[in-house]
Chain A
Amino acid sequence: MATNVDTSLLGRDVSFTVSEPWLAYWLVVMRLAVGWWFLHAGLDKFLAWPFDASWFVGGAAASTTLAPVVTAFSGGAALAFVNVMVPVGQTLIGLGVVVGALTRLASFFGAFLMAFFYFINGETGGWAHGLVTGELLGLLVFAMIATLGAGRVLGIDAILARTALFENHPKLRYVIG
């Protein structure tokens, strides 16, 4: 089964056919890959608890473009907040993307976190072989999943979309797939 895409991009007509089952298939594969990436990273930190991000937000980040934002979280209560929120965030984002629950919301925050990893890891050595790294690709996959709303493909968002809460509050549909 195929569907015709008929639109315009950069002022030029764009028309092509896409296979519906393969589109659905790749959305799920991307969700599983990038979701498990985050879920694993989050669970890993809980298994090795306590997690200390001071080397990252206070050390590695200090010489990077994001330093003015990130080093504000390098001590005291702000660091304690980061030490909890990074593993909690990664776990929830990963879980949400894998099972397709609140997929857009999870993907937005996945891309948000990934931006910090991309620039700080990149500028401190990760870009030694160029600026396209796994972290940039991860960020872009999160952005793609958020844009396409991939949660209703074999995901819990398909159930959430039919609940009274989401039926009665159309704006909430932005946070699901």
Chain B
Amino acid sequence: MTEFDTADMVAAYLGGGLVVLGVVGIGLLEIAAGSPHPVSGEGQIVHEALVPLGIRSSLIILGLLVWAAYAMYKVAATTPATGSARPR
């Protein structure tokens, strides 16, 4: 059985958690509170949104940065396991 190590867990749970919180979690809150979509079709920020758009975007960006940092860490600090795929 293969499992996540510490770095994997940080990327998967912290990075993924922030992305899912920003996209899905706050989206659910906005729906429950009856808030409008965060921007209009013309790109105007709708200030009646429950969570300010800048905060929501920043949470998602932070999650993506955790993922990116994990990718760079893996390349810099570890060596990939040899694959077992059979050449055909």
Contact = CB atoms under 8 A, between A and B. Distances in A.
Contacts of B39: 122-128
Interface in B1-36: 1-3, 13, 22-23, 27
A173 B68 contact: no
13 contacts: A123-B45, A123-B57, A128-B39, A131-B23, A131-B27, A131-B38, A131-B56, A131-B60, A136-B23, A143-B67, A161-B83, A162-B87, A173-B80
Contact of A128 (B40, B68, B71): B40
B37 A130 contact: yes
Query: Which size class do B's interface residues fall under?
Result: 20 to 34
Interface in A45-64: 60, 63-64
Interface of A: 6-8, 10, 60, 63-66, 108, 111-112, 115, 119, 122-132, 136, 139, 143, 146, 149, 152, 158, 161-162, 170-171, 173-175
Contacts of A108: 68, 71
Contacts of A124: 39, 43
B74 interface: yes
Given A65-B58, A65-B61, A174-B74, A123 B80 contact: no
A130 B38 CA distance: 8
Contact of A174 (B68, B75, B82): B75
A49 B37 CA distance: 36
Given A7-B3, A8-B1, A123-B57, A132 B75 contact: no
Nearest to B65: A115
Given A7-B2, A108-B71, A170-B79, A129 B37 contact: yes
Given A119-B61, A124-B43, A125-B39, A174 B22 contact: no
A164 to B, nearest CB: 15
Given A119-B61, A173-B80, A125 B41 contact: yes
Contacts of A130: 27, 37
A8 B22 CA distance: 25
Nearest to A171: B79
